[in-house]
Chain A
Amino acid sequence: MESFAGAVVIFAVGGVVTLATTVMVIQGHLHWRGRDPWGEG
């Protein structure tokens, strides 16, 4: 895993997971903006 190619793979996977989590949170936040917080969604 210490090779450059291995490091790039781990870096890319980490970036994708972090980005996916960020997108999920922002999506949820924007979805509820201006809506009834207790509503069906």
Chain B
Amino acid sequence: MARFRMTTRWALTLAALAVLLPVAKAGEASAPPRWLADLPLLQVLIYGSVAGLALSVLILLLIWWKEWRRGDVW
């Protein structure tokens, strides 16, 4: 019984170390990983969202105009 307890304790400690060491190491390695967005990504994001918003206005007006002509707005 005592032996079992010792083994379990060792196994638990080892398992904990196996999990915690890499995590601690990652934290210790001063700077966490970084991935800076490059210029094309930022351009797609910003120009894309402005264009998307402008397009939404146009689509909304177009749908409204079509529905208005059919008398289908309400």
Chain A residues at the B interface, C-beta cutoff of 8 Å: 3-5
- On chain B, the residues within 8 Å of A4 by CB distance are 26-27, 32-33
Q: Tell me the dominant secondary structure on chain A's binding face.
A: helix
B20 CB to closest chain A CB (Å) equals: 10
Known: A3-B32, A4-B32. 7 other contacts (CB 8 A): A3-B27, A4-B26, A4-B27, A4-B33, A5-B23, A5-B26, A5-B27
Find the A residue at minimum CB distance from B32. A4
Give the number of chain B interface residues (Cβ < 8 Å).
Answer: 5
A4 CA to B23 CA, complexed, in Å = 9
A5 CA to B32 CA, complexed, in Å = 9
B residues 12-56 in Cβ contact with A at 8 Å: 23, 26-27, 32-33
A3 CA to B23 CA, complexed, in Å = 10
Q: List 6 A-B contacts (CB under 8 A).
A: A3-B27, A3-B32, A4-B27, A5-B23, A5-B26, A5-B27
A5 CA to B19 CA, complexed, in Å = 11
- On chain A, the residues within 8 Å of B26 by CB distance are 4-5
